[in-house]
Amino acid sequence: MTDLTARSHRVADALRNAGVPGTIITLPDSAATAALAAAALGTEVGAIANSLVFMADDEPLLVMTSGAHRVDTALLAERLGKERIVRAKPDQVVAATGQVIGGVAPVGHPAPIETVIDETLAQFAELWAAGGTAHTVFPLTFDDLVRLTRGSVLAVN
């Protein structure tokens, strides 16, 4: 892990502190989208745990969704009892996570973020999530993702 950026080191530290065995790997090409990550890893796009940042009533909300799904923000707002959920702007993503769009990890943020986990991710034995940059990823299980993020498991679409 000597070639990891500071952002990825924070993610690696969070994984180690939580006892998650996944090791961050650096890919030669960008994995900024679920399709790119799945192709690079030789896995199904649905097994990519996409980290999407939204603003829910002006507070950041991290949604870990299957790469095969879109988030229905109106439905999610209703399920969470929020007035409004909208996609976060790039500067809001960086402020909330310390990471940029395309590389947002489920952990390693400056402060805890309310997190929702797409229930369909549970159907995969192994998931892959971003490791803090668009070139870094790590494997984990659904149970590890829930424990790591302390997220609420919900249908997001």
pLDDT one-digit tens code per residue, 74-116:
999 999 999 999 999 999 999 999 999 999 999 999 999 999 9
Is 1 inside a domain boundary? no
pLDDT over 70, % of the chain: 97
Q: Which domain holds residue 76?
A: 6-154
CATH (domain of 102): 3.90.960.10
Give the span between the Cα atoms of 115 and 22, in whole angstroms: 20
Entry field: residues in the chain: 157
Task: Output the average pLDDT for the chain.
Answer: 93
Task: Give ∠ CA 28-33-36 in degrees, rounded to 5.
Answer: 50
Give the count of domains, the chain: 1
Give the span between the Cα atoms of 28 and 40, in whole angstroms: 9
- Going from the C-alpha of 52 to that of each of 47, 58, 70, 140, the distances in angstroms are 15, 15, 10, 18
> What is the pLDDT, as a whole number, of residue 2?
42
Contacts of 2 (CB under 8 A, 6+ apart): none
Is 24 inside a domain boundary? yes
Is 51 inside a domain boundary? yes
